[in-house]
Structure 1
Amino acid sequence: MHARQTVDINDEAGVRINKSFRSLVCEAGGYDNISFIERDVRNYIGKQRKSLCKDGDGQALIRHFSQMRELNNNFFFDIDMDENNRICNVFWADARSRAACQDFGDVVSFDTTYLTNKYDMPFAPFVGVNHHGQSILLGCGLVSCEDTSTIVWLFKCWHRCMSNVEPDGIVTDQCKAMMNTIKVVFPNTKHRWCLWHIMKKVPKKLQGYTNYKPMKTELKKLVYDSICVNDFELGWVDFITKYDLNANEWLCTLYDERHRWVPCYLKSHFWAGMSTTQRSEGMNAFFDGFINSSTTLQKFIAQYDNELRQKAKKEFEADFASANTTVACGFQSPIERQFQLEYTRQI
């Protein structure tokens, strides 16, 4: 407790973290007399800086959520506090998102790469696809860090909010914390890595090789064009042998986890057309323009509510178009006529 108080005071006074740590070492009489390292101090300060309870914004957030619940009992929120009763992580979902999850929560995209408000906290939306092929919000979190315990807390909140129903599939990046979390919280959910993020790393990981250009072409062909698992397995062995890549650690790791990202291993599972987290990234784009680094937490939540209303309006418009117009058949096939009756215009 004394060390935390000292670090907090020094941080407020603008003292660098390494100097704060050295002062604690000197006070304790050497490195052997303290039970933490400089990295622990950096992690502690990082969390303190990202805590939400600043300038009354945390209290305003709680009031806003309480008002939303008064308007509709199905509004769900949960708040994670630290030992000093400061807000660290937040999750919420309105009644419409919870209802949509019953129909469209079987496949979810989850991505935390979008930083939004002035607290520099990752915005973590759960994104699905509706019957018009539109991206829909199925709940949202703001988290202070992306370690396993935080992501577990967030996923458990979403799980409770959605009546403890696991999604059939979830698409994320390669984050190790995400893998660990899904194993714990959603043990029966099929976990898929974002294919776009993996293929984006190819230049960085392989550009140093002499035969980089043909190597890149063959790898893409192998990943995207393999019809079945056997084709990929044989092709991978040929590819690795041809370019002498047995020592490439990145490729070895990818091969070990091939069932998470190579399309031919995943095509028998329903993914609602998703192989990447671009649904999440597309959702983030909706907030660009009215969310910036100075946006307060309360303003962000209000803008999020506005965005939900806009998306609901687009869904209503698509519902109306599907109910009142018919896509003409190209042939006289009975199955095509069945599609006319059963599917939306977009699908």
Structure 2
Amino acid sequence: MNKSFHAFVTEAGGFDDILFGEKDYRNYIDKARHLCPGKGGAQALFEYFRRIQYKNDGFFNLMEFDEDDRLKSVFWADACSRGAYKYFVDVVTFDITYLTNKYGMPFAPFILLVTRIAKVPEKFGSHGQYKCGLKNKLLSCVYDSLTIEEFENSWKSLKDTFSLYENAWLQSLYAEREFWVPIYLKNSFWVGMSTTQCSESMNAFFDGYVHARTNFKEFVDQFNNALKTKIKNKNQVDFNSVNFTIHCISHLAIEKKFQDVYTNAKFKEVQQDIMGMIYCHCRFEKMDEVIATYVVDDQVKAEDFIKEVT
């Protein structure tokens, strides 16, 4: 490839007259080798799929090629995945057009609340009032706002109090508020996961199995290995749930009910909610026709202190 690249340079009349570097050239060739049928590429993947389908009638695959006979997209599903799809009505596909993350696998471009909040110390750490109200007011604005109107008023108050109208980073945050502020996302279905967890769980699934230079055939092979490990771990967790019982932390009948029907992992989540209920105190305030209004005093653990929330 080195000689081929220098042939381009010579033909162009020198490095200054060529529109791409040697690294770009190597990346293009590497990508072409992955996409075009041949040993270690699409043809090997096709043969691999054919062998799996011969052993497993429930296996399905589909490969799509473009007009230049280059691999455009791949879909495959084993019997276990197809069964899960029938039960949960959910499916994951991999489109090779979006090989963008560290493994070369596709992830949606999440604009994450966690990444935004994590940058607060970096962006405001040098502010004179960062530890004297600014940080707490910003976090309260983001996490404690129960309506969009409340968030908007709190955000305006934040800028007024700390003279942040000229802060470009804060303005960019506000412009994207519908993508990361919890109150704007409360009606979206996240399958019980935060956006970061979706990405993290996918990374954890492939860790140790694939890397940036894994070709398609190797990826599918390693994907199956990762899936087998996942199933093995799930079976172990199921075994533990059947044979080991987590004790209840309250006398509530509903906790006992969940203890009987949930796995240990899911039951631990229930217990976290019950612990949250224990720290809540409910007071009846008024009755307006058919609407009863209550005031709830809550104690929320925030970092290393307890925050009183009404």
TM tier, smaller = 0.5 to 0.7
Instruction: Tell me the distance in 2 between the aligned counterparts of 1:230 and 1:16.
Output: 64
* Residue of structure 2 equivalent to 1:267: 186
Q: Deviations over 1:169-228 (max 9, x none)?
A: xx9434xxxxxxxxxxxxxxxxxx432233344456x35964483445543332233344
What amino acid is the match of 2:130?
K
Instruction: Tell me the distance in 1 between the aligned counterparts of 2:88 and 2:72.
Output: 29
- Paired residue for 1:196, among 106, 114, 121? 114
- Secondary structure at 1:57 match in 2: coil
Shift in Å at residue 314 of structure 1? Answer: 1.6
Task: Flag the 1:303–1:247 CA change in 2: closer, same or farther, 3 A.
Answer: same
- Scaled by the length of structure 1, the TM-score of the pair is 0.57
Instruction: Tell me the distance in 2 between the aligned counterparts of 1:141 and 1:251.
Output: 35
Q: Deviations over 1:43-78 (max 9, x none)?
A: 998555323137611211111122233333443434
5 Å matches for 1:101-120? 101-104=85-88
Instruction: Tell me the distance in 1 between the aligned counterparts of 2:4 and 2:169.
Output: 43
Q: Deviations over 1:132-167 (max 9, x none)?
A: xxxxxx5352625469xxxxxx99xxxxxxxxxxxx
Shift in Å at residue 274 of structure 1? Answer: 1.5
* Residue of structure 1 equivalent to 2:30: 49
Is residue 67 from structure 1 mapped to residue 67 from structure 2 by the alignment?
no
Alpha carbons 1:77, 1:90 under 8 Å: kept? yes
Shift in Å at residue 236 of structure 1? Answer: 0.9
5 Å matches for 1:157-172? 172=108
* Residue of structure 2 equivalent to 1:13: 4
Instruction: Tell me the distance in 1 between the aligned counterparts of 2:163 and 2:7.
Output: 47
Task: Flag the 1:287–1:268 CA change in 2: closer, same or farther, 3 A.
Answer: closer
Alpha carbons 2:142, 2:181 under 8 Å: kept? yes
Task: Flag the 1:265–1:339 CA change in 2: closer, same or farther, 3 A.
Answer: same
5 Å matches for 1:146-295? 172-174=108-110, 193-202=111-120, 206-207=123-124, 210-211=127-128, 213-214=130-131, 215-292=134-211, 295=214
Instruction: Tell me the distance in 1 between the aligned counterparts of 2:85 and 2:206.
Output: 22
Structure 2 spans left out of the alignment, 5+ residues: 267-310
* Residue of structure 1 equivalent to 2:76: 92
Instruction: Tell me the distance in 1 between the aligned counterparts of 2:189 and 2:197.
Output: 17
Instruction: Tell me the distance in 1 between the aligned counterparts of 2:142 and 2:195.
Output: 14
Alpha carbons 2:60, 2:77 under 8 Å: kept? yes
* Residue of structure 2 equivalent to 1:299: 218
* Structure 1 vs Structure 2 CA RMSD: 4.2
Is residue 315 from structure 1 mapped to residue 268 from structure 2 by the alignment?
no
Task: Flag the 1:290–1:344 CA change in 2: closer, same or farther, 3 A.
Answer: closer
Alpha carbons 2:38, 2:44 under 8 Å: kept? no
- Paired residue for 2:256, among 337, 340, 343? 337
Alpha carbons 1:88, 1:143 under 8 Å: kept? yes
Shift in Å at residue 249 of structure 1? Answer: 4.6
Shift in Å at residue 328 of structure 1? Answer: 3.0
Alpha carbons 2:72, 2:97 under 8 Å: kept? yes
Alpha carbons 1:91, 1:139 under 8 Å: kept? no
Alpha carbons 1:61, 1:297 under 8 Å: kept? yes
Q: Number of residues paired by the alignment? A: 254
- Scaled by the length of structure 2, the TM-score of the pair is 0.63
* Higher RCO (CA 8 Å, separation ≥ 6 residues): 1
Instruction: Tell me the distance in 2 between the aligned counterparts of 1:20 and 1:254.
Output: 49
Task: Give identity over the alignment, percent.
Answer: 36
Is residue 77 from structure 1 mapped to residue 81 from structure 2 by the alignment?
no
* Residue of structure 2 equivalent to 1:125: none
Instruction: Tell me the distance in 1 between the aligned counterparts of 2:217 and 2:205.
Output: 18
Q: Deviations over 1:292-327 (max 9, x none)?
A: 455443233212111101111122222233344443
Instruction: Tell me the distance in 2 between the aligned counterparts of 1:212 and 1:73.
Output: 66
Q: Deviations over 1:14-51 (max 9, x none)?
A: 2498x59967xxx9xxxxxxxxx959xx9998555323
Task: Flag the 1:242–1:312 CA change in 2: closer, same or farther, 3 A.
Answer: same
Instruction: Tell me the distance in 1 between the aligned counterparts of 2:197 and 2:3.
Output: 39
What amino acid is the match of 1:346?
A
Task: Flag the 1:302–1:245 CA change in 2: closer, same or farther, 3 A.
Answer: same
Q: Which entry has the higher C-alpha Rg, 1 or 2?
A: 2
What amino acid is the match of 1:339?
F
